[in-house]
Every structure is written in structure tokens, then in C-alpha cells.
Structure 1
């Protein structure tokens, strides 16, 4: 039962805010703002949330919208009669806005570029600020971890947005990204037999080559060795940019609704904690100079493989097969969601992306293992392409350059380890969140990655410890 005094306080607070949150003329206010605020504030999945998150949800409810913030349902229940639902547990959240990065043509007006043309992202409802929230909750399922830092835990991600125009043309979409920023690896001076540093570590000789004073193990790694410079509204592409190295896990594609609100759901676990092929990065246009060099679109990852310096596969064998019978397995159309299964021959083998922790390992090769990985090689593209091929090969049991569902399963042994748990970054270590305005460029990487040129919203992680109940009722499927 929601706590009545807290609801009353929320309603009093929102009564002062809701009028100011209505759009100005000629746009139209939400005629049932008070009812919508009361409804959301009293909902069982909202009433126990931390106040800043609760306030953001009811603020969005007060505005014009096509639907209220998404109801979160429990995904687990008691093992004994009457089998009551076990509430999902909120352990972190993100509050999103468009103020934490350099303005771009999707979030601001630039004379001569978009000052006399229709708005396409932010700015609906006569200019109400674009805001959002992301709720990250753990499903307390039987026989699964209840610690969200355990990579075997099953986690739900609820994104609610207010103030983004619907995208109409060329199959465009918005996409959320949980971001883990690379950290300085600990030193383990016992190398592999080939002289390479052990997984997740660097050698002392590597550490000695790191620049600047920001090379303390566990600190956020920066490409210039200076203190972290996080994305800022004072940045200027391409000459003044963040110096951290992001690893970005997609939260899926979605679009907004008639009244410029958006609502997305994502399941975060070891089957989805995967990252775009990092070898796409030089071809997004987001690395300064690559657009001017004509590199946008110069490479595609449509056929899975280990990149320009790795394994390249036959499109007939590894392409998206329209038939109901696969070429070497019974998969037919490529379907990365067919990750788990009792028959490995029916699990997807044509994966384009890689586990997030393996992406971290590749970036250690590129940026931090300057002595133990390709010493003397300074070209970024060569280091990236070579590292990608080398690290994928350690997990790729059949040598096809792609990590299949069975090969990437958390319980599969690889590279001398008893399982693959090391290959996944826990949800609790994703310190930032961003939403991009995407178009169909054929790449899995964020548009203009690693820059913020296509960002429309961002926010930082807010941990919740101890966790709080964050669901009501029970999902009809419960899987």
C-alpha cells in the first residue's frame, strides 16, 4: 500500500510544478494533469522509488503524453501458495536531459543550418525541455542471483522520455545506450606465454608507458593521461572533446508516440550485454578527421567476422538467410535473440557483436598494453583491428571470427577459464546513459560514436542501496 503522506506531499509539490510544465500557447495543455500525476504517484511500481526518480516520472505524467510512464510488472513470484509476486528491485537509475553535452543540430538551433526548417528531435510542445528517466531493476527469480553485480542476474530496464518528436523517414529510430567507461587496469606482472598481459590486467612495462598522472589502477582511463573530461555543453567538436573511452551497450531501437513521449523496455543479462563490433568505430564519422577522409560507410559489419584484419566470412554461409533451412545450421533468417536453447545447432552462430567485457579487453590492448601488445605500433586503426581479431580468437572456438551463442554463453569455458563470466560487464558498472538519434547506416555502433554528435539525452548513474521495490502485479509471461 503506498504511503499516503508521501503521496500527498508529492501531489502538493506537483500542483506547483504541473502548471509550469504545461506547454505555452498555441500548444495544448494536458487537461487531466492532476489525475495523471495522482495515478502515477500512487502506482505500486512508483510509490517506493527515490524521490528524484519519482518526481521525474510524475513530472512527465503531468505533461501532454500518449501514455503514462511504463508500468513495471514483477517477473518472479513466491515458490509457495498462493504464489504471490516478488517485487522487482530498483538498484540504480538515470535521470536524463539534453544539457550534459555539446549542443548539436538535434538539440539546438544553428543559424543557416536548421533555423528555418522543421524541428526533428527536441523542441515539441512549444519548447518544453526534453527529459527522461531510466529505471534499472533486478528480477528476483528462483535460482538466479539477487546481486545485480552478478553477471548471471536478470535485469529489466525501463526508459521513459518526454519531449522528442517522432522520427518518420528512412526507418530512423532512437536508441538508448548504457555506457561503461574504460578504467585503468591493475598490474599483473606475470604475462601469458606469448608475452601478452593476462585478462583484465596490464604488465608493469605497460603501466610505465601510460601518459600523465591519471594512471592509478581503477581510475577512469583517459587518452591523454589528464583528469577525466566528461562530455560537457562547453565542448566543441572536433577540437574539444571528452577524453574517456566509452563501451556502449545498446538498449534497443524505439520511436516516440503522437504526443512526443517515448517508452522502451530492455532485458539486460548475459545474452544482451553485448557491444557493437568495435572495428566499426573508424567508419562512423565520430572520430575527428574520419569524415573528411571519406571513411563514413567505407566498411560494414553486415556479414559477421572478426574485422578488417581478421576472419572474413562467406555471405551465403553467414548472411541473413531468407530460407527456412540454414546453410550449416537450422537457423534460416539471422536472429541474434536465439541465444539460449537446448539444441546448440538452433542457436544463432552469426553474431555481429561481442560481449561487453571482451570489448573492454580489446580497448586494453589498444590503449593500455603499449608494451605487451604490438609495441611500437601507434596507428589507432591497426591497433584496433589487430586487437579485435586477436581477442575474438581467444573465445571463438571454431575459428570463424564470430562469437556464437554457445561460444559466448556465460557457462562456456574459454581461453583457459572455467566459464565466460569475465566477458560481461555487470550492470552496476555502467556509469552513464545516453540516447541517440539514429538512422539506418548499416552499423551497430552508436551514430557518430564515440562522439556525442547524435546524442539527444544523457544522464549519470544513481545507485540505490539498499534496493527498493519497483514493480506491481506480475507479468503474464514471467519468463
Structure 2
């Protein structure tokens, strides 16, 4: 061994001993760091399980400790729910586990850094008590901040990849109501005939108020004992992106995201038959056979021209160009101009996405009772529900058509088009690649998951921020 290599080995050994001491939790410096961290103003009043999780993350080797939550109003933001994330409650996969014969003998792709510490995370969900805006998190008009902190995911270097967080709402069985004038179920309801058909499924589980299951049996959330595709969850998820992110040097992740009427939009459900998560689609060569690069209402709806609704290099698509402006805005005062808002949107409001899934799975008597092919029901339901809100018939629901303060489909309040933050009962993190799809990789399955967690509700809410910063958008 050369002297240079010996020296490098000695340095590495010393670093390993130091890291091991810190990781053991016995180092006094780490304990003091965690103790000071829990006194931070945005952490101090958090529920103990969440506080413990964030303190654990802060005590590990990190590039940055868990994010500081600043107030965006004169009074503190209020934590009303949170999620603790881990790798335990879904079928182990090549991202999280060494599987002999498949990925043994190669470096881990996601979990296992810092001497194979468990990969853990926490997601804080707070409402901004902004003057003039709702402060009830059950109101989709409220402004909600989300802070994600994760320890133990490797940085993604190859294949233009990223991690992506997803808020998940499991479709529930709605109440029975009278038919619309056109003979279909009213928004957010089912008909008596639909309810009768659901009652005959499986163990008669699918009654109004219950979480819907595809087999009529008790809900089966994703589990470590699942085996895709023959033993999987029987839930129907609506998945809302929390944005894409990557890891820092010490394999920690920190992501901030806002939920409001401008971001509470979900991928077009007509992509689902092309993600690979529905059994049989991979074998039929349907992976990526259709995408939403040019927006429209899908295979059964309006198909638009790329020259008109594609991503124009002269005026690039800007999905964030939806927010109203005002001369009183302290950051950038301007009169509002609806004509300049982005019209080429590829997403739909989350409540409208839920409505599509009601048509597909629950309205078997009132929506196309003659059509039994899952993919065709998805295509037809998407086109039908978008058309009810799409005022100019271009197959796209834009921010003005779905404005929370407006109405659509015969004068119904657009509040109905958005699920509130409290409806998202689960969270997952996926490992994505650049497949051109907006839907989660392998949706609706868990084959690309690296973390997940269930909702923990906080009532009454607790202060969870420090005083205001300089940006209150």
C-alpha cells in the first residue's frame, strides 16, 4: 500500500470513528444541539411525536437542520396536521431494499446513508392566518404551508431523476342525492341505483361515509406484506404533487410548498392507464403511450394543436401564473389581469379529479353502466367532467374557469372543485424519472415509493412559526 493510500485510509478511519460516535446518539454535542433545537419558536409548541422526529433529524449529520417556519401573517401560523414518514408500510422495492438476484451487488439508490440509518421524515402542515382569508383548514380557500424534512435519501445524479412528494386523498363513498336534470348524479353524490350496486359488492363495506374499496371489503392500506400485482391496496387514491426535490450532501431533504386554490390541482386522470401501475399495462406496451404534454381533455375529449396549446418557446408555459394581483400587494403591486393568466394548464382542480374517480368506480349505474373497461371509463369520465367546467370548450380548465369565488355548471359554487387540506389522509414520496407524465410513477401502485405516512390531526391547532419574514405571498 502506498504512503498516500495509507494516509487516506487513516483519515477515513478517523472520520468513521467520529461519525459513528455522533450517530450513536451518545455524543454530548449532538444532545445539546437537539435540545436547543426543540426550543426554537416554530418547534416549541409542536405535538411531542412530531417534535421528537424533527429533533432526531436535527441530531443526525445534516447539511441543514429542519426548516424554520416563518409566519406569513401578523399572528403565528397554526399547525393542524402532520405526517411522520418512514419506509415501513409498503412493499419493499429496489429503491429501499437489497433484493437478492435483482439489485444485490450495486450501490443503494435511495435509502441507507450515514451507516444505514433508517430513512425518516416529517411533514408539518400549517394554516396562514392572513387577514381577509379563511383560517379554517377545512375551507379550500385557506392558504396552507407545508414543510417537509427528510433524513436518509441519497442524492439523485442520473436519468434526470428526482424525488416527489404526494398528498393522497382516498376516495370516499358520498351521500345519495337526487339526479341532475340530465339524469346523471349530482356533483359529489351518487344515485340510489349506484348505492344499491355498491351495497352488493364484497362484504357490503361501501356505504355512504366509508372509504371506498374496489372489492367491497374492509380498507387495505398499503402494507409491507403486499405483493404487486396480486396483493395490493384496494383504495382509490387522488394524488396531489408536493413538488419535486433532491437531496443535499448529507442525504437530507428540505422542501417548502404552498397549498391554495392555485396549487390544489391534480394530474389528468387519463394518464393513469399509461403509468404502468395498473396490472397488465406494461405487458401490453402501454407505458408512456399517451401523455399530457399538449393539454386537452384526453382520448375521449378535446385534442388541441401543439402550435396553439403546446409549450411555446416565445411565451413559455408558466403554471404559477395564476395568482391574483392587487395594487395593495406589498411585494409587487399591480392591478389584476385575468387575460394574462396561464391558459394552457395540464392539471385539474383536486375536487374535479375526485369527481372523475366517482364516475369511474362508484357510479356504475348512473355513469355509462354499459362500459366495463377501466381505461375507457377513465377517458370518458375525464372528458365529461372537464366539459362541465370548461366554459370555452377547449378541453382545458383554467384558473378563471375554476376561480374559487366563481361558479360553473349551472351556477354551482367552485368551492366544490377543491379538496381541503384536511381531506388528504396520507402522504408518499416517490422516486421519479423523466417519463413525461404528470402522474406519479407507476400510479396508482406503490412500486416507486420510498417513504409514506398517515395523517395525524392536531386539535386544537398549535402555534408553529416564528415572526414574519419579508415575503407574505
Q: Check whether the contact 1:29–1:64 (CA below 8 A) recurs between aligned residues.
A: no
Q: Where does residue 97 of structure 1 map in the other structure?
A: 86
Gaps of 5+ in 1: 1-22, 78-85, 324-331
Deviations 1:396-438 (A, max 9, x none): 0000001111112111210123431000000011100110011
TM-superposed CA distance for 1:25, in Å, is 5.8
Mark the CA change 1:40 to 1:316 in structure 2 (over 3 Å): closer, same or farther: same
TM-superposed CA distance for 1:170, in Å, is 2.3
Q: Check whether the contact 2:96–2:109 (CA below 8 A) recurs between aligned residues.
A: no
Q: Where does residue 55 of structure 2 map in the other structure?
A: 58
Q: Where does residue 140 of structure 2 map in the other structure?
A: 151
Correspondence 1:164 to 2:157? no
Query: How many residues are treated as equivalent by the alignment?
Result: 440
- 1: distance between equivalents of 2:265 and 2:439? 11
- 1: distance between equivalents of 2:182 and 2:17? 69
Q: Check whether the contact 2:78–2:128 (CA below 8 A) recurs between aligned residues.
A: yes
TM-superposed CA distance for 1:353, in Å, is 0.5
Correspondence 1:338 to 2:332? no
SS in 2 for 1:39: helix
Gaps of 5+ in 2: 1-14, 325-335
Residue 272 of structure 1, aligned match among 263, 280, 285: 263
- TM-score of the superposed pair, with normalisation by structure 2: 0.91
- 2: distance between equivalents of 1:250 and 1:427? 13
Correspondence 1:72 to 2:69? yes
TM-superposed CA distance for 1:112, in Å, is 1.9
Q: Where does residue 450 of structure 1 map in the other structure?
A: 444
Residue 392 of structure 1, aligned match among 386, 390, 397: 386
- 1: distance between equivalents of 2:16 and 2:78? 38
SS in 2 for 1:270: coil
Deviations 1:244-269 (A, max 9, x none): 00001100001110000000000001
TM-superposed CA distance for 1:55, in Å, is 0.2
Mark the CA change 1:309 to 1:26 in structure 2 (over 3 Å): closer, same or farther: farther
Correspondence 1:300 to 2:288? no
- 1: distance between equivalents of 2:358 and 2:398? 23
Residue 106 of structure 1, aligned match among 90, 95, 100: 95
Instruction: Spell out the pairing of 1:79-478 with structure 2 (5 A cutoff).
Output: 86-188=75-177, 190-210=178-198, 211-212=201-202, 213-323=204-314, 332-341=315-324, 342-478=336-472
- 2: distance between equivalents of 1:171 and 1:368? 38
- 1: distance between equivalents of 2:87 and 2:221? 14
Q: Where does residue 82 of structure 1 map in the other structure?
A: none
Q: Check whether the contact 1:284–1:445 (CA below 8 A) recurs between aligned residues.
A: yes
Q: Check whether the contact 1:181–1:245 (CA below 8 A) recurs between aligned residues.
A: yes
Q: Where does residue 19 of structure 1 map in the other structure?
A: none
SS in 1 for 2:271: helix
- 2: distance between equivalents of 1:99 and 1:425? 27
TM-superposed CA distance for 1:27, in Å, is 5.2
